[in-house]
Amino acid sequence: MWRTCNVVSQTIFGMSTYMLYLLYQMRIPTLIVILFTLQCSTYGLVSYDYLENNDISGLNSVEQTSRFPLLMPKVVPNKPELYLCTPVKVDYTTSYFIVGYEPNATMNTAHHMLVYGCGEPGSTKPVWNCGEMSKEYSADSASPCGVHSHSQILYAWARDAPKLDLPNGVGFKVGLNTPIKYIVLQVHYAHIDKFKDGSSDDSGVFIDYTIRPLKKLAGVLLLGTAGHIPPNSLEHMETACEINENKTLHPIAYRTHTHSLGKVVSGYRVRTDEHGSHQWTLLGKRDPLTPQMFYPVENSDPIVIGDYLAARCTMISHRNRITEIG
């Protein structure tokens, strides 16, 4: 059975920007397309939407971009499975267009990293424990973004994925006329053996951006599932979301994510034809334990109102116990 997911469709920045955002839980498989993300528990997709009344295409050339280092400030993780967040305030008197991300991390140090766009950070501290996506927060931890704040994922990284550059003329808009006033980096430190001698860490990403207006704005769609995996079994975890806003999305790339039980993650566009039959079009399919980078979609045909985006995560457990997602 499909687990139907809620998609929050937002008209952002006072323009016809289209940003789809779904976040179930982070410790589950995923697939992303660019932008689309899918993890099992999620699938991600990255896409872009054209702006109306804007004939400035912009170019993502080296000469026109600047770089900002969004890095952990020499932290010393003190326990395994630790999630740390650090924020940077965006000058919201200016519009910025993010056109690329270069990771400054290795899988030997960081299990994964997420970059959030927030209205307010989850804490006023320079660094805070930001827990897991599926856990309740306590007095000594807080979410990446404020509880009642705007929150969306701008970037995800894992398993030594390389630099991500968006196509020419495409970018994530932050700052002026957007709900994004802070950018928050989250790093998941799964193991801390290398820090027992007091060594510090500055994992993070270098953000490439321009202030030149771009005609096409990027967004991330994240599909997720929840549940459990029985002992010694093969389990398919599935999710589907209907596109119910009258916008046209152009899929660019996808990314998958699971932990160790994931074997295959795949994502599809499902469209009903004139005969009432469902036509399935593959967007992307990967082994999630290969580098978790953004890969070009298999089919870049537009996604329109009435289409469904569906994802499946194939999980195999040789454990003698139930594995809970999250």
What residues have CB less than 8 Å from 285, skipping those under 6 apart?
264, 265, 266, 267, 298
Each residue's pLDDT tens digit in the chain (326 positions)?
333 333 332 222 222 222 333 222 333 343 434 455 455 544 567 666 654 433 333 334 444 899 999 999 999 999 999 999 999 999 999 999 999 999 999 999 998 999 999 999 999 999 999 976 545 556 678 999 999 999 999 998 988 889 999 999 999 999 999 999 999 999 999 889 999 999 999 999 999 999 999 989 898 888 888 889 999 999 999 999 999 988 889 999 998 888 889 999 999 999 999 999 999 999 999 998 887 678 899 999 999 999 999 999 999 999 999 998 86
CA distance 313 to 31: 9
CB 169 within 8 A of CB 66: no
**Side chain identity, residue 263:** K
**Side chain identity, residue 252:** I
What local confidence, expressed as pLDDT, does residue 47 receive?
Answer: 64
Helix then strand count (H, E) for the chain reads 0, 26
- Quote the pTM value: 0.76
- Residue 15: how many CA atoms within 13 Å on its side-chain side? 22
CB 48 within 8 A of CB 218: yes
Query: Burial letters for 169-178: b for 16+ Cβ neighbours within 10 Å, e otherwise?
Result: bbbbbbbbeb
35 prior amide bond cis, ω within 30: yes
Both tokens assigned to 78: 């003190």
CATH of 62-210, one of 2.60.120.310, 3.20.20.140, 3.90.380.10, 2.60.40.10: 2.60.120.310
Whether 3-52+220-324 and 62-210 share one fold: the answer is: yes
Query: Burial letters for 122-147: b for 16+ Cβ neighbours within 10 Å, e otherwise?
Result: bbeeebbbbbbbbeeeeeebbbbbbe
Provide the residue ranges of all domains of the chain, joining segments of one domain with +. Answer: 3-52+220-324, 62-210
CA distance 1 to 160: 33
DSSP 8-state assignment for residue 303? B
| 3-52+220-324 under CATH 2.60.120.230, yes or no | yes
Phi, psi of 89 (to 5 degrees): -85, 135
Look at the block and give the residue holding tokens 């801390």.
192
